[in-house]
């Protein structure tokens, strides 16, 4: 972490316009990290479309919209996620469907439509192997879909447990354990196989849980820590001893590690943990914040400190913030102001030639 001794700054590389309504979510294609290949990400919006953006490999500040995926969803597209191979893109919509798009020679075709939720689908997530897809929605349910040959998807489980709107689903980065967070102030952990899935843990009050809606969660690179963000204006860090949580018998529970409070004064809608252990948050106060572990004095266990705060990063609420999977410390933010911004978290000491 010597990188930060000289401080750092958040540089705005480019502002991308194109969506005609608020931008809800964005997702980087994980397969575009090889040297010389352009970075690609998808964004989705209240304008019912999904946009695919690509940069020029030699120039990280040169982005173009390569495709607009439209005429499929009839209402807001709330969430998007790439399969691990980067070949399929799943998009979840308020029209109660999840669409699966395939990149065929640069053209994106809708190859499957997943139906079943009663109303708005809020989030979609692929597992690490790309064999399972999870969706969640306002109907309080979490659905698990199995990927079949020929772009067919079969629902193998409908998980009932949340008492309110489920805001986000996220698979663990290395095991088939699913996490969901909700308007009911809890995070639920689901484990199982085939069609037998169970809630193995609920993270909530009074056990150091959030006191209001939990909007999002993200894992560190090792998968043994998780950060959650909430309407209660806090970030919470959770940890587990054993990331190989395949079986119910061997499940290692998550426990609360620390709470980051006093940094946000409006709802925190998005949080993302980078491969370099930098946590970024996007919130309703239009600011982006970065946190790192405080290495000074570990007497009372790990604590986290504010590395940088970027005021007025957008003109309106920031709905999504996502680190890029590439070598550079790039991140993208999406906002109610209809724009996406590409940023670089640059270290000042690196620029000074040290």
Is the separation of the CB atoms in 178 and 144 below 8 Å?
yes
Residue 3 has pLDDT above 70, yes or no: no
Q: What is the pTM of this model?
A: 0.94
pLDDT in tens, 165-216: 999 999 999 999 999 999 999 999 999 987 889 999 999 988 899 999 999 9
Residue 271 has pLDDT above 80, yes or no: yes
SS3 state of residue 283: strand
Residue 58 has pLDDT above 70, yes or no: no
Residue 6 has pLDDT above 70, yes or no: no
Q: 234 or 250, which is more confident? A: 234
CA distances from 79 to 99, 126, 217, 304, 340 (A): 11, 12, 14, 29, 15
Which has the minimum average pLDDT: 5-9, 41-45, 83-87, 326-330? 5-9
Is the separation of the CB atoms in 39 and 64 below 8 Å?
no
Res 61: pLDDT: 63
Average pLDDT over the chain reads 91
Mean pLDDT value across residues 335-350: 88
For residues 290 and 238, what is the distance between their CA atoms, to the nearest angstrom?
Answer: 18
Res 249: pLDDT: 55
Q: What are phi and psi of 333, to 5 degrees?
A: -125, 145
Q: 250 or 333, which is more confident? A: 333
Res 280: pLDDT: 98
CB neighbour burial string for 120-130, b if at least 16 within 10 angstroms, e if fewer: bbbbbbbbeee
Question: Which helix (H) or strand (E) is 305 found in, with range?
Answer: strand 303-310
The model's confidence at residue 334, banded by pLDDT at 50, 70 and 90, is very high
Give 117: exposed, middle or buried? Use CB within 10 Å, 0-12, 13-18, 19+: buried
**What proportions of the chain, in percent to the nearest 5, are helix, strand and coil?**
5, 55, 45
The model's confidence at residue 307, banded by pLDDT at 50, 70 and 90, is very high
* CB contact set of 313 (below 8 Å; sequence gap of 6+): 10, 282, 286, 287, 288, 333, 341, 343
The model's confidence at residue 35, banded by pLDDT at 50, 70 and 90, is low
Res 299: pLDDT: 64
The model's confidence at residue 283, banded by pLDDT at 50, 70 and 90, is very high
Tokens in use for 29?
Answer: 């294609």
Identify the CA nearest to 317 among candidates 264, 255, 256, 246: 264
Res 173: pLDDT: 94
Res 7: pLDDT: 80
CB neighbour burial string for 323-339, b if at least 16 within 10 angstroms, e if fewer: bbbbeebbbbbbbbbbb
Res 57: pLDDT: 66
List the beta strands (DSSP E) in 8-151.
Answer: 8-16, 23-28, 40-45, 50-56, 59-69, 77-82, 88-93, 97-104, 107-115, 121-126, 132-137, 141-148
Residue 350 has pLDDT above 60, yes or no: no
Looking up tokens 């949340």 gives 162
Eight-class DSSP state of 150: G
The model's confidence at residue 105, banded by pLDDT at 50, 70 and 90, is confident
Res 354: pLDDT: 37
The model's confidence at residue 244, banded by pLDDT at 50, 70 and 90, is low
Res 8: pLDDT: 87
pLDDT in tens, 106-135: 899 999 999 999 999 999 999 999 999 999
The model's confidence at residue 353, banded by pLDDT at 50, 70 and 90, is very low
17: Cα separation from own chain's centroid: 21
Is the separation of the CB atoms in 135 and 114 below 8 Å?
yes
């Amino acid at each position: 972490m010597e990188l930060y001794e000289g401080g750092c700054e958040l540089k705005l590389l480019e502002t991308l316009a194109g969506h005609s309504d608020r931008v809800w979510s964005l997702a980087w294609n994980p397969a575009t990290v090889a040297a010389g290949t352009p970075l690609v990400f998808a964004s989705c919006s209240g304008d019912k479309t999904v946009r695919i953006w690509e940069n020029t490999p030699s120039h990280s500040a040169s982005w173009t919209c390569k495709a607009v995926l439209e005429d499929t969803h009839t209402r807001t597209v709330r969430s998007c996620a790439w399969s691990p191979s980067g070949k399929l893109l799943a998009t979840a919509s308020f029209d109660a469907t999840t669409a699966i798009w395939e990149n065929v020679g640069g053209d994106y075709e809708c190859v499957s439509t997943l139906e079943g939720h009663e109303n708005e689908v809020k989030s979609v997530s692929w597992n690490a192997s790309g064999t399972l897809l999870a969706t969640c929605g306002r109907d309080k349910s979490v659905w698990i879909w199995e990927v079949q040959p020929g772009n067919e998807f079969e629902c193998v489980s409908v998980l009932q447990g949340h008492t309110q709107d489920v805001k986000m689903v996220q698979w663990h980065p290395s095991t088939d354990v699913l996490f969901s967070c909700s308007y009911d102030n809890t995070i639920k952990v689901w484990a199982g196989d085939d069609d037998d899935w169970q809630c193995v843990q609920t993270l909530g009050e009074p056990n150091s849980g959030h006191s209001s809606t939990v909007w999002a969660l993200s894992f560190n690179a090792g998968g043994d820590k998780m950060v959650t963000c909430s309407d209660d204006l806090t970030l919470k860090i959770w940890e587990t001893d054993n990331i190989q949580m395949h079986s119910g018998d061997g499940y290692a529970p998550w426990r609360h590690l620390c709470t980051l409070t006093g940094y946000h004064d409006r709802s925190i809608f998005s949080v993302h943990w980078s491969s370099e252990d930098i946590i970024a948050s996007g919130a309703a106060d239009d600011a982006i914040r970065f946190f790192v572990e405080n290495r000074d004095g570990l007497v009372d266990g790990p604590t986290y400190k504010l590395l940088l705060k970027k005021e007025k990063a957008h003109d309106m609420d920031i709905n999504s913030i996502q680190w890029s999977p590439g070598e550079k410390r790039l991140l993208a933010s999406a906002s109610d102001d209809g724009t996406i911004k590409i940023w670089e978290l640059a270290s000042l000491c690196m620029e000074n030639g040290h």
